[in-house]
Structure 1
Amino acid sequence: MMKLKNKKAIVTGGSRGLGKATAIAFAKKGIDVAITGRDEEKLKKTVTEIKALGVNAFYEIFDVRNYKEVQVGIKNIISNLGTVDILVNNAGIAAIGSLNEMEVSVWEQIIQTNVLGMYYVTKEVLPYLIDKNKGDIINVASTAGLNGNPNISAYSASKFAVIGLSQSLMKEVRKNNIRVNTLTPSTIASDMTLELGMTDGNPDKVLQPEDFAQLIVAGLQLPRRAMLANASLWSTNP
């Protein structure tokens, strides 16, 4: 089992939901964590909770859709962490509506956040992992990226893209001892799904953010050979 204590991690969209649960799960394993987001109040609150677990934690405010902001933010994170071992690309948005009815601006925002945002952050973090010749990149996709469903065309398209991007990158950087894995959960009782009315959050019926965070931690502790050799999809279908 791989040891995680004293590793350094970046979690995008880390102020709430799955990102927050993952950051807290990392802290419980002794991992120093940098979280990113756009809501400073929520970021501050989450960092306080993480620090209470005895690790170093801080936040950077930037919109993943803005490449210049991402460049500055990642540089600041590396300056504070000293290095990086784990990147969790979690930041994402969704909206419900038919392709014809959804506003073009909303469709574009989903693609920009879920695809370009992931690309921007990964592009800025990857050189540090290549220099170390070791690291982990975990990209949060969805079962919506495996099968399209009505009224979520933009979200589904974005998650299909995430899976394709991840598989391509996995094959590019395997030689650098970097693992790239894609998570494809079904509905999680996150802030986003609750706000969209996709679930009532009943823990007896739907996966909780804390459960999913534990899956991420468990995957990181697998022998490196296993995850470097196998397919890059971890599914959590109920």
Structure 2
Amino acid sequence: MQNIKGKKALVTGGSRGLGKAIALALAKEGVDVAITGRNSKSLEETVEEIKNLGVNATYSVFNVAEKVEVKMQLERLIESFGAFDILINNAGIAAFGGFLEMEENDWEDIVKTNLFGAYYVSKAVVPAMVELGSGDIINVSSTAGLKGNAVTSAYSASKAGLIGLSESMMFELRKKNIRVTTLTPSTIASEMSKDVLKITDGDPEKVLQPEDFAELIVDILKFDKRAMLASASLWSTNP
């Protein structure tokens, strides 16, 4: 297994929940971390927590669904922080409801954020990885992208699209020594999943916790460079 200390990582949606857990787990391994999000106060607070672990940390405020904004802000971030060795496409939103009842704008926002957001961010970050001749990209999809449900049409469509994008990236970028992994966790206890847990009568204490998923990501990144995990699902044992 390789040591990831000293690498630079970008975690989108990194100010709270799953993204925050991932950022902190990476920092504990000695990785310098940049996080993105839309709430500057939450980002500032999380960056301070990361710095307290003895690594460099910074943040950038933007919406991953806005193409021009992503390109401009990431160009600035890479110039000031340096090229990234690790990209975690974690930013995502969710709303649940019947296919006919959900507002079209909500449906479109979910797809733009969860699918186009990962595309825009990757497009901005990957060229530097190609120049370095190495890199790791982990795209956070969902089991909802593997199988639809009665109230998850937008979310499932966005996450299924991300699986397709991620797998295609993997086949293309592995030839440049860049590893791309698609992860499809089941429900993780977070602010975003509270509506799902209400619908399914799930117990927040028994489903996956953000720290469980963050541990998996760290382990994947530590694989020897010759090995790559193309995809994996992480499930709660008995929710």
Q: Smaller-chain TM-score range? A: over 0.9
Aligned to 2:6: 6
d(CA) in 1 for partners of 2:79 and 2:46? Answer: 20
Aligned to 2:204: 201
- Contact map agreement 1:32 1:81 (CA 8 A) in 2: no
d(CA) in 1 for partners of 2:209 and 2:44? Answer: 23
Q: Percent identity?
A: 57
- Measured against aligned partners, the alpha-carbon deviations of 1:102-153 in whole angstroms (never above 9, x if no partner) come to 0000000000000111100000001010011100000000001111111010
d(CA) in 2 for partners of 1:187 and 1:91? Answer: 15
d(CA) in 2 for partners of 1:211 and 1:226? Answer: 22
d(CA) in 2 for partners of 1:38 and 1:21? Answer: 17
Measured after TM superposition, the shift of residue 80 of structure 1 is 2.4
Aligned to 1:177: 177
Read off the aligned partner of 1:236 and give its amino acid letter: L
Aligned to 2:114: 114
- Measured against aligned partners, the alpha-carbon deviations of 1:184-227 in whole angstroms (never above 9, x if no partner) come to 0000012211265444421xx11100110000000100122220
Q: Which runs of 5+ in 2 are unaligned?
A: none
Aligned to 1:237: 235
Aligned to 1:138: 138
Aligned to 1:126: 126
Aligned to 1:221: 222
d(CA) in 1 for partners of 2:182 and 2:210? Answer: 16
Runs of 4+ in 1 over 4 A off after TM superposition: 195-200
d(CA) in 2 for partners of 1:191 and 1:16? Answer: 9
- Measured against aligned partners, the alpha-carbon deviations of 1:5-61 in whole angstroms (never above 9, x if no partner) come to 000000000000110000000000000000000001100110010000000001000
d(CA) in 1 for partners of 2:226 and 2:149? Answer: 35
TM-score by length of 2: 0.95
Aligned residues: 233
d(CA) in 1 for partners of 2:203 and 2:37? Answer: 25
What root-mean-square deviation, in Å, do the aligned CA atoms of Structure 1 and Structure 2 show?
1.1
Partner SS for 2:184:
strand
- Contact map agreement 1:14 1:91 (CA 8 A) in 2: yes
Does residue 46 (structure 1) correspond to residue 49 (structure 2)? The answer is no
- Contact map agreement 1:21 1:209 (CA 8 A) in 2: yes
Aligned to 1:101: 101
Read off the aligned partner of 1:168 and give its amino acid letter: S
d(CA) in 1 for partners of 2:97 and 2:220? Answer: 34
- Contact map agreement 1:95 1:196 (CA 8 A) in 2: no
- Contact map agreement 1:50 1:57 (CA 8 A) in 2: yes
